[in-house]
Amino acid sequence: MQRPSSTFGEPIRTIFLAKGNGAPGVEVLSTVISTAKEHQGYDVELSWALPGCTNSIKLMARWLKGAAVPSLKLTEIDGNDRTVIWNCDTGDLALVSEIVEKCSAALFITNKAPQMEAVGTEIEEDEPDDDWIDDNEDGDQQEKTNDLAFLGEAATSVQVLSDQLINLTTGLHSFSALLKFLESEFYRFDAYAVPVSLIIFEISHPTINPIPLQAFSTVALRIEMIKRPLDIAGHFEARDFALLLPNTQSPTALLIANKVIQVLNAGPLAPGLDKSTLRLCFGIAALPDDGDDLETLIRSAKTAKIKAKNQAVSSLFQ
């Protein structure tokens, strides 16, 4: 099938492998990479959706002649809008599988369609394609509760309660939920001297204000890719974001902040919001490095962010 152009920017032929429900397993991802190697110079595309999600994800692989590894790109598809959420040149199948799984889980959280009470109405879901390999028969809900399996029947209730702490529009924890987790981590620090770090950051643009909601869901997707399961990403006050890092000291928090910057700059967060015009201002604080109470921790992180913002604004006029 000939297309005028690909998302890689030049005319190319495309091999469409499959489209189905549920994130692909390692065997399918291996097929994508091996097909790309067999058909060097072609795009190999695989797309999937999760039951109940409004958006979908597409994996594109291209193995250029003479290249040691393929070029891979993950794109979130929302109607006619497409946003790159990850791209890399790698042949590490384990890494690709991890990224695909995390992006799919984040997609479920940020783009889950509203649940409706069935009143005399039966909703049918599309069946997966025959050539789609999916080890998870229970779909997205099974994937979400997997880590809580030891709770038995209570796992679903715990997951529902956890979802209520999420802002459904953006996929990030609400400010009040973030403060509650922060309070718990402070008590842990106070009782057992376990360090905790807080990153507060601002995303702004010289002409686009306010930042569109579409960008927030992309932020959530990308942060989900690099944060640990115990880290909490959420809104901070009215316009800022925060990342709470339990059992983390300042040097590690700095490394994580740099990773956040890298994934946020990996591609446009929304149309017109890319690294050429996007301004990211970060502030980092930690206990015990920056104090011994919660008020000091928050104030230090906010002060550091404001200082970074002032320096960024000043640099524009130099």
Q: Is the pTM of this model over 0.85?
A: no
pLDDT (0 to 100) of residue 158: 56
What is the average pLDDT across 47-73? Answer: 87
Burial of 23: CB neighbours in 10 Å, binned 0-12, 13-18, 19+:
buried
Q: Given pLDDT bands bounded at 50, 70 and 90, which one contains residue 228?
A: confident
pLDDT (0 to 100) of residue 254: 92
The H or E element that residue 145 is part of is: helix 139-145
**pLDDT(161) > 50:** yes
* Domain spanning 175-315, CATH architecture: 2-Layer Sandwich (3.30)
- Cβ burial 244-262 (10 Å sphere, 16+ → b, else e): bbbebebeebeebbeebee
For 191-209, the pLDDT digits (tens) are 999 999 999 999 988 888 8
Domain locations in the chain?
A: 2-110, 175-315
**Tokens of residue 152, six digits:** 């038995």
For 31-46, the pLDDT digits (tens) are 889 889 988 888 899 8
Which residues 6+ apart lie within 8 Å of 299 measured at CB?
none
* Whole-number Å distance between alpha carbons of 71 and 73: 7
The better pLDDT of the pair 21, 141 is held by 21
Amino acid (one-letter) located at 292? D
